[in-house]
Chains A and B, each alone.
Chain A
Amino acid sequence: MQIRMLEAGVGLFMLAGIISLTVLALNVSGLTLSSGQETYTLYAAFENIGGLTKRSKVTVAGVTIGRVTDITLDKNRFAGVVEMEIQAEYNEFTTDSTAAILTAGLLGEKYIGIVPGADEEFLKDGEVINDTQSAIVLEELIGRFLFNKANN
Chain B
Amino acid sequence: MIERLRILGRSGLDILAIQGRSAIFVVQSLYGIPSFRKGGRLLMEQLYAVGVLSLPIIVVSGMFIGMVLSLQGYTILVKFGAEQSVGQMLSLSLVRELGPVVTALLFAGRAGSSLTAEIGLMKATEQLTSMEMLGVDPLRYVIAPRLLAGFITMPILMLIFNVVGIWGGYLVAVDWLDIYEGSFWANMQSATSFDEDVMNGIIKSIVFAFVIAWIAVFQGYDAKPTSEGIGVATTKTVVYSSLAVLGLDFVLTAIMFGDF
Contact = CB atoms under 8 A, between A and B. Distances in A.
Interface of A: 3, 6-7, 9-10, 12-14, 16-17, 19-21, 23-25, 27-31, 55, 57, 109
Contacts of B166: 28
Given A14-B156, A28-B192, A6 B45 contact: yes
Contact of B52 (A9, A19, A29): A9
Nearest to A3: B41
A13 B45 contact: no
A3 B50 CA distance: 16
Contacts of A20: 156, 159-160, 162-163
B193 interface: yes
Interface of B is mostly: helix
Interface stretch (B12-20, B31-39, B182-190, B216-224): B182-190
Contact of B198 (A13, A16, A19, A25): A25
Contacts of A6: 44-45, 48
A9 B159 contact: no
A21 B113 CA distance: 27
B180 interface: no
Interface of A is mostly: helix
Most buried by B among A23, A25, A55: A23
B83 interface: no
A11 to B, nearest CB: 10
A26 to B, nearest CB: 9
B192 A17 contact: no
Interface residues on B, range: 20 to 34
B51 A10 contact: yes
Given A3-B41, A28-B188, A13 B163 contact: no
Interface of B: 41, 44-45, 47-48, 51-52, 55, 91, 95, 153, 155-157, 159-160, 162-163, 166, 185, 188-190, 192-194, 197-198
Given A28-B91, A28-B198, A10 B188 contact: no
Given A19-B163, A28-B91, A57-B190, 10 more contacts: A7-B44, A16-B55, A20-B156, A21-B159, A23-B163, A24-B95, A28-B198, A29-B193, A30-B188, A30-B189
11 contacts: A6-B44, A10-B48, A12-B52, A13-B156, A16-B160, A20-B160, A24-B162, A29-B95, A30-B189, A30-B190, A31-B194
A23 B166 CA distance: 10
A30 B192 contact: yes
B194 A10 contact: no
A66 to B, nearest CB: 14
Contacts of B45: 6
Given A9-B52, A13-B51, A23-B163, A28 B44 contact: no
Most buried by B among A6, A29, A57: A29
